[in-house]
Amino acid sequence: MPTNLLDTFQRPLTDLRISVTDRCNFRCQYCMPKDIFGADHSFLVHDELLTFEEITRFVNGIAPLGLRKVRLTGGEPLVRKDLEELIGLLRSAHPELEIALTTNGSLLPQKAKKLKEAGLDRVTISLDSLDDGIFKAMNDVRFPVAKVLDAITAAEENDLRPIKINMVVKRGVNGESILPMAEYFRERGHTLRFIEYMDVGSTNGWNMADVVPAREILDMIFGIYPLEPVKADPPSEVAKRWKYRDGRGEIGLIASVTDPFCGDCTRLRLSAAGELFTCLFSNQGHDIKSLIRGNASDQDLIDFVASLWGGRDDNYSQTRSQNGLSGTDKVEMSYIGG
């Protein structure tokens, strides 16, 4: 049975990101703009979603290929009913597997205890500003900052650690929130990660002029709070880590646009509809649901994934950086998770 599966650039498969739903209760402009994902938008119906048992079956099948971590995403994963049942199935089958969750935090206070009891290890919570006006405008459903801070407290109280905070930075929108966010979270022991505004999907109106480069963010913070680099752990980690010299925590910088990290990417993505994507910027998925529902054996699943990953040559961000933007449409982030 194959282990330590490598792609054409000798990148191992160690991380699986599972989108459990394409739905979200926010309408952030950089992900699910309201003018596209409005009241008349056709989301996946329940029968089109992989069941929790089917997701677990897939993870069981490919675990021998070197899988170390599963991250549950969406859409907003907590709008999927009884998500703790999936976590329990995965934890029972794979006690050694790291199970993480990325969430906007809106439903976390009432669900954190059940998630932890089911076996969830840690959470990453999205928060793009501490300014209520800016944040409400960005999530476009008028959701207040205070409730996201409540979600962080719930994660703390239920030991869903380490807690990471993701902030997508868009020029002219929330750039003025960079320093207040850094100041707030450096006092609270959580890693704040600044994410360059990315050209994911085809509906968010991405423009390079809207990108605040990671280096600019770093210089802004360094001017007030001196930082020093931290070695990546593991090496495939997407964020470049910097710690405050006074010992009060660290930040991360995810610079997919200005400093691509394709060479270290170890992630396979499973969409809610049962398609596999070998890159966040893919324009085509690979149907695994038909195999699962067609009574394929574990070996059939392994062979399919081994063939797919073995031929993987994705390096979109590096190609974009070198040659300019690709003109092809890309799958929406809400469909395959971030």
**Which residue ranges form the domains of the chain, and what is each CATH number?**
15-336 (3.20.20.70)
Tell me the mean pLDDT in the region 165-173: 97
Of 28, 1, 334, 65, the C-alpha closest to 200 is 334
- Residue 222: phi and psi, rounded to 5, are -60, -30
Q: How far apart are CA 76 and CA 71, in angstroms?
A: 12
- Residue 45 pLDDT more than 90? yes
Lowest mean pLDDT among 133-137, 139-143, 231-235: 231-235
**What is the predicted pLDDT for the residue at 3?**
66
The larger pLDDT score, comparing residue 295 to residue 270, is at 270
Looking at residue 236, what is its pLDDT?
Answer: 81
Give me the long-range contacts of 327-331 (CB less than 8 A, separation at least 24): 328/283, 329/202, 329/283, 330/199, 330/200, 330/201, 330/202, 330/281, 330/282, 330/283, 331/201, 331/271, 331/277, 331/282, 331/283, 331/284, 331/285
- What pLDDT shows up at residue 12? 97
* Cα(98)–Cα(91) distance, integer angstroms: 9
Range with the lowest mean pLDDT among 130-134, 157-161, 204-208? 204-208
Mean pLDDT of all residues in 128-152: 98
Which residues, including other chains, have CB under 8 Å from residue 161's CB and lie 6 or more apart? 122, 155
Least confident of 79-88, 120-129, 172-181, 275-284: 275-284
Residues 209-254: pLDDT tens digits? 999 999 999 999 999 999 999 998 887 889 999 999 999 999 999 9
Q: Residue 2 pLDDT > 80, yes or no?
A: no
pLDDT at residue 199 tops 90 = no
Rounded average pLDDT over 37-46? 94
Q: Are 86 and 72 in contact (CB under 8 A)?
A: yes
pLDDT, residue 334, reads: 80
Is the pLDDT reported for residue 337 higher than 90?
no
Query: 318 pLDDT exceeds 70?
Result: yes
Confidence band, pLDDT 50/70/90 cuts, at residue 1? very low
**Residue 278 scores a pLDDT above 80:** yes
DSSP 64-89: GGT--EEEEESS-GGGSTTHHHHHHH
pLDDT value, residue 316: 82
Query: Residues 26, 323: contact at Cβ < 8 Å?
Result: no
DSSP structure class, residue 180: H
Least confident of 145-149, 198-202, 286-290: 198-202
Please check the confidence at residue 307 and state whether its pLDDT lies above 80.
yes
**In this model, does residue 50 exceed pLDDT 80?**
yes
What is the average pLDDT value for the chain, to the nearest integer? 93
Question: What is the C-alpha separation between 2 and 67, in angstroms, rounded?
Answer: 12
Residue 325 has pLDDT above 60, yes or no: no
Whole-number pLDDT of residue 320: 72
**Taking residues 122-148, what's their average pLDDT?**
98
Q: Report the percent of the chain where pLDDT is more than 70.
A: 96
pLDDT score for 44: 96
pLDDT of residue 308: 97
- Kindly report the number of other CB atoms within 10 A of residue 223's CB atom: 9
CA 240 to chain centroid, in Å, comes to 16
